[in-house]
Amino acid sequence: MRKTNLLSTFGPVCCCFFCFAINSCTRLEQTHSAPIPAFYHWKTQLHLSQHEQHYLEAIGGKKLYAKFFDVDWDETTAQPMPLATIELDSALLGNFEIVPTIFITNRTLVNLPIQQMDSLAGLIFYKIKSLALRPFYEAQFDCDWTKQTQAKFFALLERFKDKAPRTALSATIRLHQLKYFEKTGVPPVDRGMLMCYNMGDLDDWATENSILDIEVAKNYLPKNSGAAYPIPLDFALPLFRWGVLFRDGRMIKLLNDLNAANLEDTSRFKKTANNRYEVLKSTYLNAHYLYAGDQLRLEGVSEEDLLKVATLLGKWRNDTSLTVAFYHLDSTAISLFPKEKITEVLQRF
pLDDT of residue 28: 41
pLDDT of residue 91: 75
Q: What is the pLDDT of residues 29-43, one digit of tens each?
A: 457 899 999 999 999
Rounded average pLDDT per 10-residue block, the chain, 349 residues: 54 44 42 93 92 94 96 97 93 88 98 98 97 94 97 98 97 96 96 96 96 94 72 97 97 96 98 98 97 98 96 92 96 92 96
pLDDT of residue 15: 42
pLDDT of residue 59: 96
pLDDT of residue 133: 84
Distance CA 130, CA 100 (A): 11
pLDDT of residue 94: 79
Q: Which domains does the chain have, with CATH numbers?
A: 32-240+300-347 (3.20.20.80), 241-299 (no CATH)
pLDDT of residue 12: 52
pLDDT of residue 225: 53
Q: What is the pLDDT of residues 222-270, one digit of tens each?
A: 776 555 899 999 999 999 999 999 999 999 999 999 999 999 999 999 9
Nearest to 333 by CA among 260, 259, 257: 257
Distance CA 329, CA 155 (A): 31
Give, in degrees to the nearest 5, the angle at Cα 12 between 10 and 16.
Answer: 115
